[in-house]
Amino acid sequence: MKEQIHPKFQQVIFFDASANYKFLSASTKSSNETMEWEDGNTYPVIRVDTSSASHPFFTGRQRNNDVGGRVDRFNKKYNLNSK
């Protein structure tokens, strides 16, 4: 293999602020923000929007928005619901 063409593989903390959930994993991503982990070492922090702690599939809290289909939206827009 060629030297110095591969990204640095390191331990990072993935942090989901919406659920205050974090986990340590290996990644090639890096960050200027750091945080101390439970083992006393400091690692870079990668902020994520969703994780298993906040995703509706894993938490069981599905959000059902009853917006209807195209026909329902058309009828509502032109007030055609009277039959």
Q: What's the pLDDT score for residue 83? A: 55
pLDDT in tens, 33-75: 999 999 999 999 999 888 878 776 666 776 656 666 788 878 8
Bridge partners (DSSP) of residue 11 are 26
Q: What's the pLDDT score for residue 14? A: 93
Q: Please tell me the pTM assigned to this model.
A: 0.63
Q: What's the pLDDT score for residue 32? A: 94
Q: What's the pLDDT score for residue 65? A: 61
Mean pLDDT of 17-46: 92
> Residue 54 and residue 75: Cα distance in Å, rounded?
36
Query: Would you kindly state where each structural domain of the chain is located, as residue ranges?
Result: 10-62
